Structure 1
Amino acid sequence: MKQHRKDFIPYSILELATIGSGFSVSEVFKNSLNLAQKAESFGYNRFWLAEHHNMVSIASAATSVLIGHIAGGTNQLRVGSGGIMLPNHSSMLIAEQFATLSALYPDRIDLGLGRAPGTDQTTAQAIRPDRMQAVYRFPEELRSIQQYFSAENKNNKVRVPIAEGVDLPIYILGSSTDSAYLAAKEGLPYVFASHFAPTHLFKALTIYNNNFQPSAYLEEPYTMACVNVLAADTEEEAERMSTSSIRMIVGVLTGQIDYLQPPTEMTPQLKQIAVDPALQRMMKFSFIGNKETVKEKTVKFLEDTGVNEIMVASHIYDPIARINSYRLFAEIMEEIAESRCMASN
């Protein structure tokens, strides 16, 4: 794994290819690539794509295909899955897909693995009727992928020849404590989905760090956590942008998922919705505001969690405003690194 100086915390992007009202899927994919290209110039470390199914507002269902699209349009940015929901798939086919990606884009592909369905239970059943058995076999399926990528697998009957000996970084994703135990036991880096499931973040990080066992893949614990960021030049702009996210989250909570809607003024009704306990729980790690506000919240998050890397998700309707938000966050992370460097000298 690439090592960074102690005062620098890598920052990365989690992309869902969110479909805004009035945008075609082709436009969404073009905007995702444009964002990745800008992110590369802003100094982002990774650009990961999430697997979701049967959601009108998310276009990242064929995750491996999109990874190839993004990697092909960038030069140095690491591109990967955040994540592949392994119980939806055959471990052998995932090994074939990511070995292919690794051959096309050497030393740039990451494989993040999760066990959640990435959809509702009815759709999960349609994807794979024996999915629940696959969930229980998640540790074995993980080791199966590792076996396919090992040089020693050439002696086995079932092989993925193009994967053998390929150094593909694998990450365990989670939103509960179960995944923390697994990542620690296997000696793999751990990524927590605190952008939508913040409840168990600190407990999961503690479990992972306290139980970590060094492995051939990783000598010391490595943690990443994801937050939502909506940064703008002014507080008023950021608040207005957040109205799209608020309505999207309400749709998720009520089961009425719709396309991401254009922002509106923050009405009294939306303000009331924004302070609803369920919404507040989901948005606990949503940093909304101007550069100063977002920086303050980011510094606190990094200090409180001690994560090695921070990942950012955003649901912003306007592609230009979204790029500006990621630009501002990159500036924030560079300023934080500079402050840490000065403090350590």
Structure 2
Amino acid sequence: MPTKNIAYSILDLAIVTKGNSTQQTIKNTVSLAQKAEEAGYTRFWLAEHHNMPAIASSATAVLIGHVAQATTTLKVGSGGIMLPNHSPLIVAEQFGTLGTIYPNRIDLGLGRAPGTDQETARAIRSDFMDAAHSFPDEIEKIQTYFSANNQNSKVRATIAEGVDVPIYILGSSTESAHLAARKGLPYAFASHFATAQLFPALKIYRDEFMPSAVLSRPYVMTGINVFVADTDEAAERMATSFIKMIVALLTGTKRESLDEACEMTPDLRETLEHPTVQQMARYTFIGSKNTVKNQLIDFIAKTEVDELIVTTNCHNQEARIKSYQLVAEIIQEINQG
């Protein structure tokens, strides 16, 4: 059992499921956030993606505000804002505004990837590659805009000055680990899809961490896919939509929506066990409450994480909410020893 309490949070992509409209998808995201608040989740993050018909979180800051309005205590933020797509000044103004409206409830997770294909990235910002290389400097600019000491600068984000919006470095490689450690910022690793460098990245971050004004010791979050139901078989059925989504990603097939669940056929099971799919889905936990509890105890022991950020991409909204509720129960039981 862990020697510290593990926080638990949600990463939601606002995925459009087959048979549902984008409007209903957003309503489902809000409903999930409200249930997450009731279940004791720490934060609810939304991710920026573009030119993906099945994902409704492209205007991430707008959706964050919508979710924050519908909840009262839950921290709401970005997992993340893909900073090379944006002007640091505009990001500071947007999140400074959110932090002013919802004090102490807004998180700003920042990533370097485009969250889309290269052609779309160029359509968003023609100098995307230059901005990506300038990622550390762009973060520095955002920190400056949020600083109360920026009042005498010629360029200011006045709505952000002195507003408490914690910054998190998101990453899927060791490069991001070096940066998060150097800046003394909390680090969220995208191990729900980028699994290969999880442990090297965590070691680098912890070994190189430099205390900062915002953080005295390393703080690690890891992304995981979790599907929990009353039985292993029901959880496997729920996860079939996710398996088909992975295959579409790996084959470059652009889907309009997330498929309905189906029986776990021999073909689907064989697909899940394919080395390429296994690599991407290594930190995916599927089963009954007891099955997943044992898996999570092992994962927490190996990673020594401070916080798990869970994503459950399935078709049925009720099953998804129930899965998150069961995950909350599992973590609470683990914390109680």
TM-score above 0.5, yes or no: yes
Contact 1:248–1:257 (8 Å) recurs in 2? no
1:208 aligns with 2:188: no
- Distance in 1, Cα, partners of 2:232 & 2:216: 42
Contact 2:15–2:313 (8 Å) recurs in 1? yes
1:153 aligns with 2:156: no
User: What letter is aligned with 1:215?
Assistant: S
Match in the other structure for 1:43: 40
With 221-230 and 269-278 compared, the bigger mean Cα shift is at 269-278
1:168 aligns with 2:165: yes
- Distance in 1, Cα, partners of 2:236 & 2:163: 46
User: What letter is aligned with 1:222?
Assistant: Y
SS of 1:40 mapped into structure 2 = helix
Contact 1:227–1:311 (8 Å) recurs in 2? yes
Q: TM-score, normalised by structure 2?
A: 0.98
- Distance in 2, Cα, partners of 1:193 & 1:322: 20
SS of 1:198 mapped into structure 2 = coil
Alpha-carbon distance, 1:274 to partner? 1.3
Q: TM-score, normalised by structure 1?
A: 0.96
User: What letter is aligned with 1:320?
Assistant: E
Q: Which of residues 305, 312, 324 in structure 1 aligns to 2:322?
A: 324
Contact 2:103–2:164 (8 Å) recurs in 1? no
Match in the other structure for 2:333: 335
CA deviations 1:218-247 (Å, max 9, x no partner) are 111111001000110111101111111111
Match in the other structure for 1:343: none
Q: Which of residues 84, 89, 93 in structure 1 aligns to 2:86?
A: 89
Alpha-carbon distance, 1:7 to partner? 3.1
1:255 aligns with 2:258: no
- Give the length in aligned residue pairs: 335
Alpha-carbon distance, 1:257 to partner? 2.6
SS of 1:80 mapped into structure 2 = strand
SS of 1:146 mapped into structure 2 = helix
Match in the other structure for 1:314: 312
User: What letter is aligned with 2:229?
Assistant: A
- Distance in 1, Cα, partners of 2:285 & 2:269: 16
Give ranges in structure 2 of 5+ residues lacking alignment.
none
CA deviations 1:177-222 (Å, max 9, x no partner) are 0000000000000000000001000000000000000111111111
Q: Which of residues 226, 245, 249 in structure 2 aligns to 1:229?
A: 226
1:67 aligns with 2:48: no
Contact 2:184–2:210 (8 Å) recurs in 1? yes
- Distance in 2, Cα, partners of 1:330 & 1:168: 25
Matches within 5 A, 1:161-200: 161-200=158-197
Change (3 A) 1:6 1:70: farther
User: What letter is aligned with 1:206?
Assistant: K
- Distance in 1, Cα, partners of 2:277 & 2:32: 27
- Distance in 2, Cα, partners of 1:205 & 1:280: 21
Match in the other structure for 1:287: 285
Contact 1:87–1:134 (8 Å) recurs in 2? yes
User: What letter is aligned with 1:291?
Assistant: K
- Distance in 1, Cα, partners of 2:158 & 2:122: 31
Q: Which runs of 4+ in 1 moved over 4 A?
A: none
CA deviations 1:105-161 (Å, max 9, x no partner) are 000000000000101111111111100000011000000000001111111000011
- Distance in 1, Cα, partners of 2:102 & 2:163: 12
User: What letter is aligned with 1:300?
Assistant: D
Contact 1:196–1:282 (8 Å) recurs in 2? yes
Alpha-carbon distance, 1:6 to partner? 6.2
User: What letter is aligned with 2:139?
Assistant: L
Give ranges in structure 1 of 5+ residues lacking alignment.
340-345
Contact 2:186–2:220 (8 Å) recurs in 1? yes
SS of 1:162 mapped into structure 2 = coil
Q: Identity of counterpart residues, as a percentage?
A: 58
Match in the other structure for 2:299: 301
- Distance in 1, Cα, partners of 2:158 & 2:240: 49
- Distance in 1, Cα, partners of 2:213 & 2:329: 35
